[in-house]
Structure 1
Amino acid sequence: PLMDFFTSIGLVILLFKGGSMVLANVITLGTLVAMQRYLQKLVWPMMALGFSVSFYQRARASTDRLDEIFKEQNEVREPPAPGPRQIRGEIEFRNLSFRYPGSEKDALKSLSFRSQPGMRTAIVGPVGSGKSTLLGLIPRFYLAPEQALFIDGHPVEEFNLGVLRRSIAYVSQEPYLFSETLMSNIAWGDPDNRMRSMEQVIEQSQLKTDLSSLPEKEQTILGERGVNLSGGQRQRVAIARAWWLDSPILLMDDTLSAVDVHTEERLLQALKQESGSKNLIISSHRISTVREAEQILVLNDGTLVDQGQHSELIQKKNSIYARFYERQRREEDLEQFLDTQARPSI
C-alpha cells in the first residue's frame, strides 16, 4: 500500500508539473505522455528491488538461525564402546536428581524405584511435579546423571541410542501425526513389521468405530498434526503406533486425558492384555487410569512422597493420592447426578 501511495503521488506530480509545462509550450504533449509511460515502466522494477532486499534480509536472518541450530552440540552422546544389544525392560532409578540446564531448582530429587518387565507402574501428582521429566529421562531425551538410571542392570549411558530407543515405545501428551494415511501414521516407527496385525492394533486402540467417519477408512490422509481428528482420536492413533512397535518398554505420558471414560475403560482393558511381559509406565491425572497398576508412585515437587497400590494409598488419610481420589470421586458423583437430572422423565 505504501508503494502504491508513492507511485500515485509521483503520477499526480508528473501530470501537474508536466501539464503546466505543456501549457507553457516548454514540452510537447507527446513528451509528457512518454514520461508518464516511462514512469509506469519503472514502478515494477523498483517494487521488485524492494521485495528482493526484503527477501534477502529474511533469508539471511533465517540462515543465521539455522546455522546456530546446526552448530549446537547434543548433550546426549553415544557411548565410547558399544553397549548391550538386547533390552528386557527392567528399569531402576537409584537416588536420581535432575535439573534442567539453566535452572536453579531440581526437577527431580533423590528419586529411587524399580519397575520390572510384566509390571504396570503408574505415576501421579500435581501439574509440574516431574512426571513428564521422569519419563523423558528413560529414552534419554534429557541427560540423566551417571550411575543413577539403570536398564537391565546397566547404566543407561552405556546403551547405544539406536538400540535404546528402538526398545522403547513412547506416547507423549501431544502426539505428533504426519500428513500421511492413518495406516502409515500407525506403522511409522516400523512399516515392515510382519509380527503385528494392523486390524488388531486398530481394534485394541478403539479406532475401529472411528473408521466409519473417515472418507477413506485407514487410507484417509491425515492433516499435519492430525488436524482433521479430535484430541481423543489423535491420542488413540499414538497408542496404536506404540502397540504396533511391540517394544519391551512402553511409556505413556498422560495419553488418555482427551478420551472419554467409557473409551478409557476399554483401552485400559486392552492395555492390560497387551502389556504382557512389557514394562509399562504410565503417568496420569486420572485415578481411574492408574488404580489397577501394581505400583503407583506419587510425585510432588519432584519428590517421591508416596508409593504403593491403590488400595493401600487411599487408606492414608490427607495424603496427596487420597485427596486426588476423593476429589475425583466427588466430581464423578456430581457428573452422574447432573446427567440423571438432565434426562427427561418418562
Structure 2
Amino acid sequence: MFYYLIRKLLFLIEPEKAHTFILKVLNFKIIQIIMNFFLKSLPLKKNRYMNLIFNNKIGLAAGVDKNGEYIDSLSKLGFGFIEVGTVTPLPQYGNKKPRLFRINEKEGIINMMGFPNLGIDNLIKNLKKSKFTGIIGVNIGKNKNTPIENAVNDYLICIEKIYLYADYIAINISSPNTIDLKKLQYGSELKNLLKNIKKKQIEMHKKHYKYVPIAIKISPDLSKKEIIYISSQLIYYNIDAVIATNTTLDYSLLSTKQKTKKKGGLSGLPLQKKSTNVISILNKHLKNKVTIIGVGGINSLNSAQEKISSGADLIQIYSGLIYHGPKLIRKIIKGL
C-alpha cells in the first residue's frame, strides 16, 4: 500500500526523471539504513546454472542500472542476480528525449532509449566498488555509430574489457532502438557473431583461468522457425544461456485506445504471453543444453511460475518492479 502511494507521486514526474530520482534516493545512506531495518532477509534458495550459484531465481533485468551505479542499493531488494547495462565500448547519449513512456492502464512501458551509457570503462570502475556478493551480469551492445558489418568488434572489445569483472556477459542483439541491430539474429550474421564470441570466450578463459558464461538476448518478434534456428546455433556454438526476451515492436498487443505513435520497444504486461511463448519454443528445442532466462511482463507470482513452467531456469524483472514495487520480488522469491 505504501509503495502505491509513492508510485502515484512518481507517476506525476516524466518517466526517465522519475527513474533517475528513485535510484538516487536508494543510494542515500539514510534510505540504506531504513531498508536494512524494514526488509527482512529472505531465505536462500540456491540454484546452479551456467556453473554459477544463484541465491534465488529472481534477477533484475538490464536497463534499470545502465552504468552499474546502484548495484548495492538494488541488491537489498532481494535479487539473486543483477544485470547491468546495456553498455557499449564508447560512451553515448542515446536517442533524443523524451524517450521513455508509460502505458499505465496496461502496466506497459515504451522505451526509445538507444543504449545511453557512460561506456565500458566507467562500468568497470563501478563494478570494482560494488560490495554485492550475488551474481552480476553485464549486458553489452554496439555503439550507434558502429556500422552493423563491424558490430562484432564492439562486442569483442567489451568482452575483453569486462571479462574479469562479470559473472556472466549478455550479448544484446535484439534491441529495437539501435538501427539494424536485430539483423545479428539471423543467418550468416548470427553464425559469425556466435563463432567470434565463442572464440574470444575461449581465448579469455585460457588467459585468465576463469570461465565467464555468455548469454544471448533475443527478440520476442521472431517467428517459430527463426527461434528454432537460433536454438540450433546456440547449441552448435556451445553458448551458455539465452535471455528471452527483449522488448517488442508488436503494438497489436495494445488496445486501440492504448495505441501510440511512439515506436520504441514495448515491455511490461503486454509482452507477457509473447515472451512466454518464445520460452516454450526454446525449451523444446534447446533440450536442457542451454540455460533459459525468462523476462517480459512478470507482474505476479503466477506469471513468474508460468515462465518457469514454460522452461525458464531463471527469471528477470523490470516493468513489474516499477508498477508493483519491491514487495513483488519478495513475494515471488517466497512463493517459488
TM-score (norm 2): 0.29
Q: Who wins on radius of gyration, i.e. which is larger?
A: 1
Between 1 and 2, higher relative CO (CA 8 Å, sep ≥ 6) is seen in 1
TM-score (norm 1): 0.28
